[in-house]
Amino acid sequence: MSSSVNSILRNAIDRSDGARLIVLRMEAGERRESEPHRHARGQLGALNAGLMTIDTAAGRWVMPPGRIGWIPPGFLHAAQLHGTVEGWSAYLAPGDCATLPAEPCVLACSALVAPIMERASQWDEGALQPPQQRLLEVLLDELAVALAQPLQLPFPQERRLVRIARALASEPGDKRSLDEWARWAGLSGRSLSRNFAKETGMPFVQWRQLARMVQALEQLAGGMPVNQVAWSLGYESVSTFIAAFKRLFGATPSQFAVRS
């Protein structure tokens, strides 16, 4: 979620002391990736345009416009920016993170969050004035009640299951059946089905569908036409892909592409 900032601000966001909230603008015109890293502060981010994906050992999160990404203090992660990205990234002092989730997630974004962040981006790094403190408390209240969005692709932990998950996350259009994937990883089909659902919280078929949708968002943000996205992900027809996309995200791929 990092933007290009000067060394003073970079040092500030990596310290747990100092300002309670630091807000930075994000802008990028091409695909960018960060190496795995962590911050002493909790990290929030939201986009007006483009797409961000966040990778941790636990899975991959995808953040389209209109959502808020959250990473707790000290959590190792890497990020990728897709398309022409515009938005903000904010860093909360650890003492203000207690009411936020203990794991990374993507949250719904209320109408109050963006204007508060706009104001906070102008604040000095010193102690907050009473009106600023009140705005920060409103922000924390809004985040505490924000609902988690179904935009996480959770990864299993068992070695062979991780191998399958990472291969499919990279190439979700691969049409191998569950039994074929099981043989590839040295498992029985029954063991793969049972343990994959146990470790990820969803059946293998549903997980693969979600992996396809995550990559669809990345490809759409990069400007790929809807029909090419559908075919690259292994769909037999564009209409089937559009229907699956709309069921999950509440918008058609074309509508998402316009927003991103």
Domain identity same for 83 and 204: no
Q: Please say which residue of 115, 145, 175 terminates a domain.
A: 145
pLDDT digits (tens, 9 = 90+) for 9-51: 667 777 888 889 998 888 776 668 888 999 999 999 988 888 8
Q: Please say which residue of 117, 145, 173 terminates a domain.
A: 145
Q: Does the predicted model carry a pTM greater than 0.75?
A: yes
Domain identity same for 172 and 120: no
Domain identity same for 133 and 184: no
**Alpha helices in 123-237, H assignment, sequence order:** 130-145, 159-170, 178-185, 189-200, 204-221, 226-232
Res 183: pLDDT = 96
Top-confidence range, 56-65, 73-82, 146-155, 178-187 = 178-187
Domain identity same for 161 and 140: no
Instruction: Determine the structural domain holding residue 97 and report its residue range.
Output: 7-145
Domain identity same for 32 and 97: yes
Cβ–Cβ < 8 Å for 76, 98: no
Cβ–Cβ < 8 Å for 205, 178: yes
In a domain, 17, yes or no: yes
Domain identity same for 139 and 227: no
In a domain, 2, yes or no: no
Q: Please say which residue of 116, 145, 174 terminates a domain.
A: 145
In a domain, 233, yes or no: yes
In a domain, 52, yes or no: yes
DSSP secondary structure string for all residues of 61-99 = EEE-TTEEEEE-TT--BEEEEEEEEEEEEEEE-GGG-TT
Coil/strand/helix, residue 44:
strand
Domain identity same for 22 and 132: yes
Domain identity same for 49 and 168: no
- Does 256 have pLDDT greater than 80? no
Domain identity same for 134 and 27: yes
In a domain, 1, yes or no: no
Q: What is the CATH number of the domain that holds 200?
A: 1.10.10.60
Domain identity same for 166 and 122: no
Number of domains in the chain: 2
Q: What is the widest separation between alpha-carbon atoms in the chain?
A: 63
Nearest Cα neighbor of 85 from 13, 9, 31, 36 is 31
In a domain, 150, yes or no: no
Classify residue 22 as exposed, middle or buried by CB count within 10 Å of its CB (0-12, 13-18, 19+).
buried
In a domain, 217, yes or no: yes
In a domain, 78, yes or no: yes
Domain identity same for 182 and 241: yes
pLDDT digits (tens, 9 = 90+) for 183-233: 999 999 999 999 999 999 999 999 999 999 989 988 888 889 999 999 999
Tell me which residue has tokens 């969050």.
113
Q: What is the CATH number of the domain that holds 28?
A: 2.60.120.280
- Average pLDDT, stretch 128-144? 92
Domain identity same for 37 and 136: yes
